[in-house]
Amino acid sequence: MTIKISRRDALKLSGAAVGGLTLGGATSAAWNELAPPPGLTQVNTLFKSLKPISPGEPLGKSEMRISFLGTSVIERRAQARSSVFVELGNGESFVFDCGSGVVSNYVAMGIPWSRMNKIFFTHLHGDHTSDLTHIYCFGPQGDRKSPLFIWGPSRSGVFNPDYPANPRKQRYNPDYFKDGTIDFCMHFRAMNRWHTESQSFVATEWDPAEIPSRGVPGWPGVTVPLGDGYDIYATELDWESGDTTNWWCTNQTLVPRGVAGSGQPVPFDTRDWVAYETREVRISFFPSIHGRNGSLGYKLEWLTEGLSMIFTGDTKPNDFLITSATAGSKPVDVLISEIVVNPEIWVARQSGLTNTCDSTFQAGLLNAEAVQENSHTPQKAFGYILSKIAGPDKKMAPRLAVGTHFQATDDTIALAFDDIRYWYAGAVTIAMDLMVLRVTKSMIEQCRAVVSDFSWSAQWDRQRRTANPKYADMSSQNRYRPMAPLAQFDPDLLKHVINPCDYDKYGWQCAGNPPCPPSATGKSR
Ligand SMILES: [Zn+2]
């Protein structure tokens, strides 16, 4: 049975328990208070009902796998912020956004650092960018022996209303802020200097074998001059013109695109509104409307398999999305859009207040409405957009639509379905951390990754190279050679180190490791 509940009804209705959360079918729920009974928000029946899958299960050759590794807009333990990981059966992989907390999910999924070297930012809000620090800092210590490639929006061009209101603060009050992705990356490189140098006693140099195998086209067979895993290659995507020629790199051996005939390897092709293109894959972008000028959505097309995915990032409802999703003759396979709970529900959950006439509730409501007006896609708008994309004959309906960036529990999911179903009856689901979609031409299988909460770092995808680290010591007295773990300490500091034999005379630092019998050496797995 379907109970239609309106936004107002959701505040007033009493009675029924949560309805069945069947995919592709209308669902419903109603409760007697704005704040649900304790426990109700603690479950996600939809997610639990999905087919379990083990992390690291090999992809089919023609499979596109989409893993949701951060799905929330707010901070919560059950859902990290924002990240979508796309893997293709040809070995390529792409990260779309990496907000706070998502790296723990990547690690739990067994995704090695080397597969996280191409990152596309929809915008530069912290809930979409903050785990970049972790990916950048720890990747080269693991198996990401390649530059980190980053794509994101150009500068907003929004005039600073403080300028020149306070001449004494003029230095901090430019007329326009340098708020583009290249500005972000330049400062990001500088702010992480202490980290990157301090860890450079292990080898972080590029692995020549690593780069082509990670899908940087134009490079296979080319001897790439070596650089460092802490190199960044940033490409700015102009939200207004679609221009992609603005790039910045910490290593000049990665030549700019457009230098025809230079004889140098070129990492990837771009053109207007296309951020990345190879013979097999195209990633185009389109404007989103969120925060301020600059937000973007992406469309990934696996050209050789005829599969596609759209990720809106954060946005107000807009027709750029409809244009992108209806371009060409085939519907998009998976359309991922942010959605946001209705403002009354947001305030009730956030504040615990149920009296909508309470002045605090009213103030919170105004704030929630302002945030949504600036930034987000209401549930009902998502349904409306999907109906517009599908068209009257439903021919362009995405094979699966996914709402994300959403507090996904039974109560909010049921309300979202009711709003979406008002406009759209096609296949829809709501993302949760560790939801995995296995997409082929013939099926889209929705799975739930079963992972350990106590995972160790992901296995390296490649054997560690024996290259010399930046801080190296080849002297025979150095038992760690070529690594030089003590090279960055002042001798006066080291004088204060406690002798390890004082606390453990049988430990490896004092007695050394027991020798391995020759028969036991070699590879064990
Ligand atoms: Zn945002």
Cα 416 to ligand 1 centroid, rounded to whole Å: 20
Confidence of residue 525 (pLDDT cuts 50, 70, 90): low
Which residue type does 82 have? S
Distance CA 127, CA 471 (A): 34
Q: Is 265 exposed, middle or buried (0-12, 13-18, 19+ CB in 10 A)?
A: buried
pLDDT at 361: 92
Cα 99 to ligand 1 centroid, rounded to whole Å: 10
Cα 116 to ligand 1 centroid, rounded to whole Å: 21
* pLDDT tens per residue across span 445-481: 999 999 999 998 877 766 655 678 999 999 999 999 9
| Largest CA-CA distance found in the chain, in angstroms, rounded | 79
Least confident span in 27-41, 107-121, 324-338, 391-405: 27-41
pLDDT higher than 50, residue 330: yes
Confidence of residue 219 (pLDDT cuts 50, 70, 90): very low
Cα 83 to ligand 1 centroid, rounded to whole Å: 12
Exposure class string for 337-369: b at 16+ Cβ within 10 A, else e = bbbbbbbbbbbbbebebeeeeeeebeebbeebe
Cα 156 to ligand 1 centroid, rounded to whole Å: 14
Cα 360 to ligand 1 centroid, rounded to whole Å: 25
Confidence of residue 213 (pLDDT cuts 50, 70, 90): very low
Which residue type does 3 have? I
pLDDT higher than 50, residue 519: yes
* pLDDT tens per residue across span 20-74: 333 333 333 444 445 655 555 678 999 999 999 999 899 999 999 999 999 999 9
Confidence of residue 497 (pLDDT cuts 50, 70, 90): very high
Cis before residue 164, ω within 30 degrees of 0?
yes
Cα 255 to ligand 1 centroid, rounded to whole Å: 32
Cα 381 to ligand 1 centroid, rounded to whole Å: 18
pLDDT at 264: 45
pLDDT higher than 80, residue 248: yes
Cα 520 to ligand 1 centroid, rounded to whole Å: 53
Cα 292 to ligand 1 centroid, rounded to whole Å: 10
Cα 295 to ligand 1 centroid, rounded to whole Å: 8
Cα 84 to ligand 1 centroid, rounded to whole Å: 15
Task: Look up tokens 């049988």; give the residue.
Answer: 506
Cα 298 to ligand 1 centroid, rounded to whole Å: 15
Cα 147 to ligand 1 centroid, rounded to whole Å: 26
Mean residue pLDDT across the chain: 86
Cα 137 to ligand 1 centroid, rounded to whole Å: 23
Least confident span in 213-222, 280-289, 384-393, 492-501: 213-222
Cα 291 to ligand 1 centroid, rounded to whole Å: 6
Task: List the structure tokens of 263.
Answer: 């004889």
Cα 157 to ligand 1 centroid, rounded to whole Å: 18
Cα 262 to ligand 1 centroid, rounded to whole Å: 39
Q: CA of 367: how far to CAs of 67, 302, 316, 503, in Å?
A: 32, 41, 16, 58
Cα 127 to ligand 1 centroid, rounded to whole Å: 7
Distance CA 283, CA 323 (A): 15
pLDDT at 6: 47
Cα 38 to ligand 1 centroid, rounded to whole Å: 29
Under DSSP, is residue 262 helix (H, G, I), strand (E, B) or coil? Answer: coil
Element holding 274 (H helix, E strand): strand 274-277
Cα 374 to ligand 1 centroid, rounded to whole Å: 10
Cα 166 to ligand 1 centroid, rounded to whole Å: 29
* pLDDT tens per residue across span 162-202: 887 776 766 678 889 999 999 999 999 999 999 999 999 99
Least confident span in 213-222, 279-288, 437-446: 213-222
Cα 276 to ligand 1 centroid, rounded to whole Å: 23
Cα 98 to ligand 1 centroid, rounded to whole Å: 12
Cα 351 to ligand 1 centroid, rounded to whole Å: 22
pLDDT at 19: 35
Cα 423 to ligand 1 centroid, rounded to whole Å: 25
DSSP code of 483? B
pLDDT higher than 60, residue 266: no
Distance CA 216, CA 84 (A): 20
Task: List the structure tokens of 27.
Answer: 């669902």
* pLDDT tens per residue across span 299-320: 999 999 999 999 999 999 999 9
pLDDT at 468: 83
